[in-house]
Amino acid sequence: MAFFIPNQNGRMVVAYMVMLSLLGIAAPGVTFADELSKESVLPLGMANKAIQTALEACKKDGYRVSVSVVDRAGVLRAMGRADGAGPHTVDSSRKKAYTAASVRRPTSELADLITKVPTLQALRDMNAETLILGGGLPIEIGGEVVGGIGVGGAPGAHLDDACAQEGLDAIGAAPKVPTSKSK
């Protein structure tokens, strides 16, 4: 869209085009949209499917848990809490999901790492949202981490991991828990 404005000599000036040229942003064929990065977004339906599957996996084993899914930025996408799950499981599942998405690796790996390398204990204090305890897995689809899933409330981090992995399996995400670590 151009605006025509008469100048002092009565000639018409294409003010908009002149302004863009002076600012150096009117390169032909280039738009600002071309410079934006493209990111995949985990659809809400997939997040809910992963949560439901993880809840059911834990329930069949007798565990009352909470399951959270966050997007790649660690923002809560969806959350479910089983009947009778402890109130602490809500925050722990969200923080595990946040941590897994943030560092793009299973939280059980981080827990093992800081045990083996005590100088890394400070990782626990990265921020108030971090929880380095098994049960958080990054959600990787098509080679891209699109979020994280966290399970809290089973009687052992390896059991939280196993339920979270079932959630990943249900949506076709890359496996993150070795089969030997599962239940």
Give the domain ranges of the chain: 4-35, 44-170
Q: Which of 172, 147, 175 is nearest to 161 (CA)?
A: 175
Q: What φ, ψ does residue 43 adopt, rounded to 5°?
A: -65, 150
| Residue 182's pLDDT band (cuts 50, 70, 90) | very low
Given a cut of 50, whether residue 180 has pLDDT beyond it is no
pLDDT number for residue 181: 43
What's the predicted TM-score (pTM) here?
A: 0.80
> In this predicted structure, which of 42-46, 66-70, 103-107, 178-182 has the lowest mean pLDDT?
178-182
**Percent of the chain whose predicted confidence (pLDDT) is above 90:** 70
Q: What is the mean pLDDT of residues 11-18?
A: 52
pLDDT at 28 exceeding the cut of 60: no
What's the fold here for domain 44-170? Beta-Lactamase (3.30.450)
Is pLDDT larger for residue 33 or for residue 168? 168
Q: How many CA atoms lie within 13 A of 8 on its CB side?
A: 0
